[in-house]
Amino acid sequence: MKTFGDVHRHLIKFEIRPSVQRTAVMGYLMNHATHPTVDEIYVALNPEIPTLSKTTVYNTLNLLVEKGAVQMLTIDDKNARYDADTSKHAHFYCRCCGKVYDIFNVKAEMYRLPAMPEFKVDTVEISYYGTCKSCLGH
């Protein structure tokens, strides 16, 4: 469980002024590695911070992504998903339950383009789709 102090330090590291809303959204993501949607974050934080609107959550997430503190995943075509873990890792989307799982053992060369000087890569998203173990009933 990340503390208020951990979240605060994380925001400062990415040069983000730690307002109440930013600390709440960043803290939620740091403590929930489930790749939540805007709605899930909003519903979870609303009881604590009733003044928080869905628009504020959305704008806060955009800022956190822009500053590099959070990554946005496009793996789920219905909802953007957010991840406080910005280290190199792939994801698996279960079409049955909609859960997004972390996949850490992807070969490093998968993230690199073959030598092509005409393209400068700034984002690589590796997404796998299928059915997860619990949906398969194993």
Separation of alpha carbons 127 and 95, rounded Å = 12
Separation of alpha carbons 52 and 134, rounded Å = 34
Q: Kindly provide the b/e burial profile for residues 81-101, where b requires at least 16 CB atoms within 10 angstroms of the residue's own CB.
A: bbbbeeeeebbbbbeeeeebe
100 sits near Zn ion (criterion: CB under 5 A): no
135 sits near Zn ion (criterion: CB under 5 A): yes
**Quick one: which of 12, 43, 97, 103 contacts Zn ion (CB under 5 A)?**
97
80 sits near Zn ion (criterion: CB under 5 A): no
Q: Is the CB of 58 or the CB of 101 nearer to Mn ion? A: 101
Segment interacting with Mn ion, rule: CB under 5 A, options 23-31, 78-86, 113-121, 122-130 = 78-86
CA 10 to chain centre: 15
Residues at the site binding Zn ion, with contacts judged by CB under 5 A: 94, 96-97, 132, 135
Judged by the rule CB under 5 A, the positions of this chain that interact with Mn ion are: 83, 85, 102
